[in-house]
Amino acid sequence: MSQVDKQALRSVAENATAGEWCTDAHHGVIADAGLNANYYIASCSGPEHQANARYIAAANPATMLALLDENEALEKRMAGMEDDVRNIIALLNANEWAEHCTRTRLGQRLELQVTRLIGALSAASASKGE
């Protein structure tokens, strides 16, 4: 989501009508509760109006905020993993990796995890087309 202004998206979600959103039997999206209860939040027309209304109702502020929170947590986790990989690369570059792995059980377990991580990163890069 690097092309998306996540802070702006969070701001508009926080300022939109809170609570559950649902579709009516016709063309609109309505709020279930709060100040806007039973008022239209959005009105859809055209051949795909029902599908569009369902989409708008599903993309309510609570859902968007939850997705943004999840994305933020994943970005933090990924940053921590990137730091771990940088530290491992520093060990490799300093020729301390082999000694560390052979002398410690932790090193052996770490070597296994690094091998798995390299495989996962390779698979992720391949799926992104990088």
Q: What is the pLDDT along the chain (130 residues), one digit of tens a residue?
A: 457 899 999 999 999 988 888 888 777 888 876 666 678 888 989 899 999 999 999 999 999 999 999 999 999 999 888 888 888 778 777 777 667 667 777 777 877 888 888 888 877 777 765 4
- pLDDT value of residue 87: 83
Query: What's the rounded Cα separation, in Å, for the pair 34 and 30?
Result: 11
The pLDDT value recorded for residue 57 is: 92
- For the chain, the structural domain boundaries read 17-59, 77-128
Q: Cα–Cα distances in Å, from 63 out to 45, 87, 130?
A: 24, 36, 30
Distance, CA of 15 to CA of 116 (rounded, Å): 43
